[in-house]
Chains A and B, each alone.
Chain A
Amino acid sequence: MKESKMHRKGGRNVSTRQMWGFKGVRALLLMALILIAASCGVGQQAQQGGGGGGGPTKICMMPKLVGIPYFNAAEKGAKEAAEQLDIQLVYDGPTEAKAALQSQMIEQWIQQQCSAITVAANDPNALAPAMKKAGDAGIKTGAWDADVAQDARDVFVNQATFEAIGYKMVDLMAEQTGGKGKFLVVTGSLTAPNQVAWLKYMRERMKEKYPEMSIASVQPGEEDLQKGIDITKNYLQANPDTAGVFGITSVALPGAAEAVKQIGRQGEVAVTGLSTPNEMKPYVNAGVVEKFALWNTVDLGYLAVYVANAQVEGNLPKSGTFKAGRLGKVKMLAPDEVLLGPPVVFSKENIDQYDF
């Protein structure tokens, strides 16, 4: 193996390469030894990071992803609550809405000795193992905004029931279209559990109360504004008798509104759905969208921190109501579910009061 091609043109010679390889192995062994020595000598936390292991309460809160206004708003509320309660808050999440990245971060947080971990899950089952591990390590577990599997967390902070949201959107649309017509629904992804649930209740509401309304098509906008605009435009051009468009995510609704505005059909085609007020202000003020719904996302973040703190202190009730700071009495839907309240309807009259 030791060819002595010491003077090969322009590059490493083979025997040097053999040496590198061998030296490399020795380097690796050396490093392994150092690692073992270091970890034995340093850091005597032999047990996994545990909850309540002395020190101030640390709530670790994770959104679906960082970098979108909806979760920035939740962060605002969460920080407010943490200040009021005088506890430490870690609010962080992956830069993409992926469950795998979330579960990795959760596992890293277990090492950080959080008192409680609460997460808005991108996928309820994928996060279950990581959350269970956190639970086993003595950390209080919870979910907010989007639930994980029920046996993987102690409590879920729900912003509004799927039923309330689905029904409200249909009611708003019925107001504007006289309770009849064919409608397009622009959603985020066809598989997001909450969006699927809303669709179910929307259809239910239409069947019960507005039999002349029907959902003609459901298109995924994939949380991409331009895509939402293009999809809505294409659909409306292909189906000009559409009575209205539901945009049921905070990206889909402004996209639908923009599309209707660009093809000049505001007033003819009703637009409503779910989104954040700041995104929708231009469209509400221009009359493209009369009313739309959401919940107060800032309050949701605020409540999630209060609930997590109550878990840590051990005084979260199992039923009835629970006092959460400035929100007052908040309802317990079930021993493991807290409800923020009914959806908020935004319109020209009240939209300027909100800043998120």
Chain B
Amino acid sequence: MSAAAAVLRRLTFSREVVLLGVLIVLMIVMSILSPFFLTVNNLLNTSRFFVEVGLMSLGMTLIIITGGIDLSVGSNLGLSSVAIGFSFAAGLPLPLAIVLGLVVGTAAGLFNGLFITLLDLHPLVVTLGTFALFQGLAYGATGAEAVSDFPGWFAYFGQAYLGPVPGQLFIFIVAVVMVWLILSRSRFGRYVYAIGNNEEAARFSGVPIRRVKIAIYSGIGLLVGMAAVIYTSRVYTARGDSGLGLELDVISAVVLGGASIYGGSGTIAGTVLGVLIIATLRNGLTLAGVPSTWVLFVLGVLLLVAVFFNEFFRVKEE
């Protein structure tokens, strides 16, 4: 096969192009199911809903590339959210409360990272424990109450528009670019892939494994904090159970985007497409009048199908 044809073949079947095709097909299907889907207003409105999941998925991509996982992101969001709301209600000026939320999110992520690296534990069980712990702390510390009395300007994070475009979309785009740069254009990014491909070999090559891992778990913590700010602003309430269940969407998006759950591969572009596909599904199905109970089922099945095809095509390529 000539070189040109080989390149063309790789271009045609690259994971991201396939996903793009899926996304376009999905959008066509959704617009047939509901005339309201493919309007500027609806698409922009939908973009407001996926930014939180999107931010967390960016961080989750790095974690999954190293072969780890983080089940606690949803609970962490709730914890950060109540940190913002309740510290504000207790008298802290809102800007400081927001910073506190970011700090809490990052600290929670750091806790995960330290537990995993210092004790050499499997991320699965550690984050399963922190999933319960963070949620429990969020509930217990707030007595399962909610805070909703925010000043008007707080809404800007989650509800403001720059022209017709929602504000948080810009935050998301900036985050995408930054994480993409880190992952594909920096030494840190190569360390991440190296750890995922073969941790022992990476250790012998001098990759500072512990520091990298602590960094990525803290990093997702920071992204969770940001997502918490946007989420709390969008729903205008700080509650302990905010964000519960989002880990399914986050992990699904990353896996859908082509990352192998065993580690070693994955891209930001793929993850972003995964996020868009899931958002399209959720929004499109609701607009088409499909009851929420079906949506739940569809997303569970989607995760399974996505991973199955992932591994199926991966073996084919090798």
Contact = CB atoms under 8 A, between A and B. Distances in A.
Note whether A and B form a binding pair.
Answer: yes
Contacts of B273: 27-28, 31
Contacts, number: 163
Contact of B269 (A12, A24, A98, A105): A24
Contacts of A39: 38-40, 43
B42 A111 contact: yes
A25 interface: yes
Given A14-B193, A27-B16, A126-B236, A35 B184 contact: no
A111 B39 contact: yes
Contacts of A125: 146, 148-149, 236-237
B41 A20 contact: no
Contacts of A66: 291-293
Contacts of B42: 111
A54 interface: no
B283 A17 contact: no
A123 B237 CA distance: 9
Interface in A40-72: 40, 42-43, 45-49, 66-67
Interface residues of B, number: 65
Nearest to B194: A14
Contacts of B91: none
A351 B270 CA distance: 58
Nearest to A67: B293
Contacts of A12: 264-265
Interface stretch (B17-25, B92-100, B123-131, B247-255): B17-25
A344 interface: no
A46 B36 CA distance: 11
Contact of A126 (B31, B38, B235): B235
Interface stretch (A89-97, A287-295, A335-343): A89-97
Contacts of B292: 66, 92-95, 105
A107 interface: yes
A345 to B, nearest CB: 31
A299 B207 CA distance: 68
A205 B155 CA distance: 42
A276 to B, nearest CB: 20
A19 B190 CA distance: 14
Nearest to A191: B145
A220 to B, nearest CB: 8
B274 to A, nearest CB: 12
A24 B268 contact: yes
A105 B283 CA distance: 9
Contacts of B293: 66-67, 95
Contacts of B296: 95
B133 interface: no
A23 interface: yes
A211 interface: no
B9 to A, nearest CB: 13
Nearest to B181: A21
A310 B12 CA distance: 57
Interface string A6-24: 0010111010011111111
A125 B36 CA distance: 28
A238 interface: no
Contacts of A48: 41
A67 B297 CA distance: 14
Contact of A21 (B20, B183, B241): B183
B190 A123 contact: no
Interface of B: 10-11, 14-17, 19-20, 23-24, 27, 31, 34-36, 38-43, 45, 48-49, 143-146, 148-149, 155, 159, 180, 183-185, 190, 193, 197, 231, 235-237, 239, 241-242, 245, 264-265, 267-270, 272-273, 276, 283, 286-287, 289, 291-293, 296, 318
11 contacts: A11-B264, A12-B264, A18-B184, A27-B20, A31-B20, A31-B23, A34-B24, A35-B43, A39-B39, A108-B286, A190-B143
